[in-house]
Amino acid sequence: MSRVVLALETSCDETAVAILCGHGGVMSHLIASQADIHAQYGGVVPEVASRNHLAILPGLVGEALREAGLAPAAIDAFAATTGPGLAAALLVGSSAAKGLALGAGKPFLAVDHLEGHMLSPFFGESTIPPHVALVVSGGHTLLFDVSGHGQYVLLGRTVDDAAGEAFDKVAKMLGLGYPGGAEIDRLAREGDPKRFDFPRSMIGSGDGNFSFSGLKTSVRYFLEKGFAPDDLPDICASFQEAVVDVLVAKLLAAAKARGRDLVAVSGGVSTNRRLGEKLEKRCGQAGLTWRAARPELRADNALMIAYAASHRVERPSPIGADVRPNFDPGLFSNALR
Task: Determine the pLDDT at residue 332.
Answer: 73
In CATH terms, the fold of domain 4-120+297-328 is Nucleotidyltransferase; domain 5 (3.30.420)
Weakest mean pLDDT among 1-10, 28-37, 76-85, 164-173:
28-37
Among the residue ranges 231-235, 263-267, 331-335, the one predicted with the least confidence is 331-335
Phi-psi region of 149 (alpha: psi -120 to 50; beta: other; left: phi over 0): beta
Mean pLDDT of 11-31: 96
pLDDT for the residue numbered 307: 98
Homologous superfamily of domain range 129-292 = ATPase, nucleotide binding domain (3.30.420.40)
| Average pLDDT for 162-184 | 92
Beta bridge partners of 180: none
The burial class, CB within 10 Å (0-12 / 13-18 / 19+), for 82 is: buried
Tell how strand 289-292 and strand 25-33 pair up.
Answer: unpaired
- Which parts of the chain are beta strand (E)? 4-9, 14-21, 25-33, 77-83, 108-112, 131-136, 141-148, 151-157, 262-266, 289-292
Pairing of strands 131-136, 262-266: parallel
pLDDT over 60 at 336, yes or no: no
The per-residue pLDDT for 337 is 39
pLDDT of residue 138: 87
If pLDDT is split at 50, 70 and 90, which confidence band does 284 have? very high
This prediction has a pTM of 0.94
Instruction: Please write the tens of the pLDDT for every residue from 39-78.
Output: 666 677 777 889 999 999 999 999 999 999 999 999 999 9
Q: Tens of pLDDT along 41-51?
A: 667 777 788 99
Q: What percent of the chain has pLDDT over 90?
A: 88
Residues in the chain: 337
pLDDT tens, residue by residue, 238-250: 999 999 999 999 9
pLDDT at residue 329 in the model: 83
Cite the residue boundaries of each domain of the chain with CATH code 3.30.420.40.
4-120+297-328, 129-292
The DSSP code sequence of 291-304 is EE--GGGTSS-SHH
